[in-house]
Amino acid sequence: MQISIEAHNISVRYAQKPVLWEIDFHLPMGKIIGILGSNGSGKTTLLKSILGLLPTESGYIQVFGKPIAEVLNKIAYIPQKTSIDWDFPASVMDVVLMARYNPKKWFFRYSQADKNMAAQCLQKVNMLEFANRHISELSGGQQQRVFMARALAQEAELYLLDEPFVGIDTTTEEVIWHLLKDLRNQGKTVVLVHHDLQSVERNMDYLLLLNTRLVAAGETAHIFNAENLRATFGGQLPILEQLAERIRLDKLPLREQDFQDRQV
């Protein structure tokens, strides 16, 4: 197995409380990989640790066999929507062009090739007609398409997405899944924090199940089962006895929030 991300003995704390504890895993290249877990289980923390945005108390993380600082140009990152300043004075085209910026060049100016690439990526997400629109004027689904276009414009090898399907419409969800599968078919690696349990089996090749510690990591067909999900989500999911059957029959959209709501 060719390795995209390797983590060994990773621990991270917030205010002396462990968020990730002694995590070890190897993620394959050229796959769509889902990170699943309840709120507070360390999913976003793990993504930020991979990117070097959060310090780790122990262990190390390597991407493509190197420290993260040496391969940042090969990584595209889409954070949670709530962490983005939507009032920043930028048009849709400006946002996508940011992916082409090269800080190593003095007096950098976007070339025509950069502008053509940005336009092509906007076309892929059906947002080219909004190129001159301010980003704040778009719907949630449209905003997420724009950030997906920006990620595509980076021409990266690894794509890290934090909850890309939260607050978007069904059409946008379908567009994004199509793009992610196309990236995988090109040999790219996609890692995303995800909540929709029903969509896991048909869309994801590999999973990380987190509950502060690593519950399981492996091919979806091997580890996506009621026992592992019970260990992942704990007491939040009392109906997990029926989970495997419901997923198999495709009866209803099983999302983490659905289960949490049922506990109230």
> What are the extents of the domains in the chain?
3-262
Q: What is the mean pLDDT of the chain?
A: 86
3-state DSSP assignment of residue 147: helix
Q: Could you tell me which of 52, 44, 42 has the C-alpha nearest to residue 21?
A: 42
Instruction: Give the separation between CA 119 and CA 23, rounded to whole angstroms.
Output: 40
- pLDDT by residue (tens digit) across 204-217? 999 999 999 999 99
Fold of 3-262: Rossmann fold (3.40.50)
Can you give the pLDDT at residue 258?
Answer: 46
Q: Give per-residue pLDDT as tens, 27-81.
A: 999 999 999 998 888 999 999 999 999 989 999 999 999 999 999 999 999 998 7
Banded pLDDT at 188 (limits 50, 70, 90): very high
User: Of the segments 4-13, 79-88, 100-109, 244-253, which one has the largest average pLDDT value?
Assistant: 4-13
CA–CA separation, 191 and 164 (whole Å): 11
Model-level pTM?
Answer: 0.86
Q: Give 258's contacts (C-beta < 8 A, 6+ positions apart).
A: none
Spatial contact of 45 and 54, defined as CB atoms under 8 Å apart: yes
CA 1 to chain centre: 21
Higher pLDDT residue, 195 or 83? 195
